[in-house]
Structure 1
């Protein structure tokens, strides 16, 4: 479904297929404590693994991994990914991560999500795109609602972080709802 790896341009960001040229940016992203907390990432990363990961994403037609680069100077500020494709049910998952405070609050994430949703719903048969956001990530939950995601439920105590438990809020957007928002 995602054999074609497009470049998508907006006013603030350009989304590009991830590749080895984005490894330094991903390394910064996975080493930013705030980004790690917001994504609930417990796994350690190594530089070699990061390089292999970004170098191999183009080989997978069941996912779309795009680097979020600033339109101004093409600097890497994060990634947006469509993964966990369920081709039988025309659905997938969306995840997004920004490099940290230098990318927060600038509209990069909002525009990246809108660009990837528009691409997914206008060029594929996808009907449903879902995501999860942790209950302490109010900024992301606000953005998801703003672009049209609807809360579906909660996975209670889904994340253990620094000795505390946090819920994961499940959200989705459907192709008809996206189409209605565009008109």
Structure 2
């Protein structure tokens, strides 16, 4: 049984180098710069152009949403924006949801994503009570796929030619992590 009220609570989750905090207007400018970055757009398959005003309006809604959880990734030492992640498309009857993450260009290649994913999954499994968290990653995004695997995600399938990017079709890989079984519990 999942606790859907846990989605209404917007936690602060602290790791060694990062902190996950409720996404807020103070992140809007850096978030906007990230979604405008061409490589970030390619890695996330983002076709939509967001104006800063549209992004601010969307962020303003996040805090009140009870059907999803959106958090910003901040540098623990400086408070600087490093990216964002979300848990959405929650299916309470089947205790699963979908996950996505996007890192600012300056945050890639340093293990920030893996640390953020582990913190977020811990919350999704322990506090929200999900059994399964799934994601989609583009077949050409090897770095993300390896990070997901390090965090417990397993490849489950392939959506052939599901993304059209830069004039070419690309496969989408479906991966999922399951709630760790408690050892010694009876």
Please state which band the TM-score falls in when normalised by the shorter chain: over 0.9
Q: Name 2:87's counterpart in structure 1.
A: 82
Deviating above 4 A after TM superposition, structure 1's stretches of 4 or more consecutive aligned residues are none
Residue 149 (structure 1) aligned with residue 153 (structure 2): yes
Residues of 1 paired with 2:49 and 2:25: CA distance? 20
1:72 is displaced (CA, Å) by 1.8
Contact 2:36 2:49 in 1 (8 A): no
Contact 1:12 1:107 in 2 (8 A): no
Residues of 2 paired with 1:87 and 1:172: CA distance? 17
Residues of 1 paired with 2:180 and 2:75: CA distance? 30
Q: Name 2:162's counterpart in structure 1.
A: 158
Residue 112 (structure 1) aligned with residue 116 (structure 2): yes
Contact 1:82 1:94 in 2 (8 A): yes
Residues of 2 paired with 1:55 and 1:106: CA distance? 30
Partner of 1:43, secondary structure, is coil
Contact 1:133 1:140 in 2 (8 A): yes
Alignment of 1:1-183 (within 5 A): 1=4, 2-100=7-105, 102-176=106-180
Superposed CA offset, 1:86-106 (max 9, x none): 111111000000111x11111
TM-score for both structures, normalised by structure 2 = 0.93
Partner of 1:83, secondary structure, is strand
Contact 1:8 1:14 in 2 (8 A): yes
1:125 is displaced (CA, Å) by 2.1
Partner of 2:27, secondary structure, is helix
Residues of 2 paired with 1:40 and 1:165: CA distance? 12
Partner of 1:42, secondary structure, is coil
Partner of 2:67, secondary structure, is coil
Query: How many matched pairs?
Result: 178
1:107 is displaced (CA, Å) by 1.2
1:12 is displaced (CA, Å) by 1.3
Residues of 1 paired with 2:83 and 2:53: CA distance? 19
Residues of 1 paired with 2:8 and 2:52: CA distance? 27
Q: Note the residue ranges of structure 2 that are not aligned, 5 or more in a row.
A: none
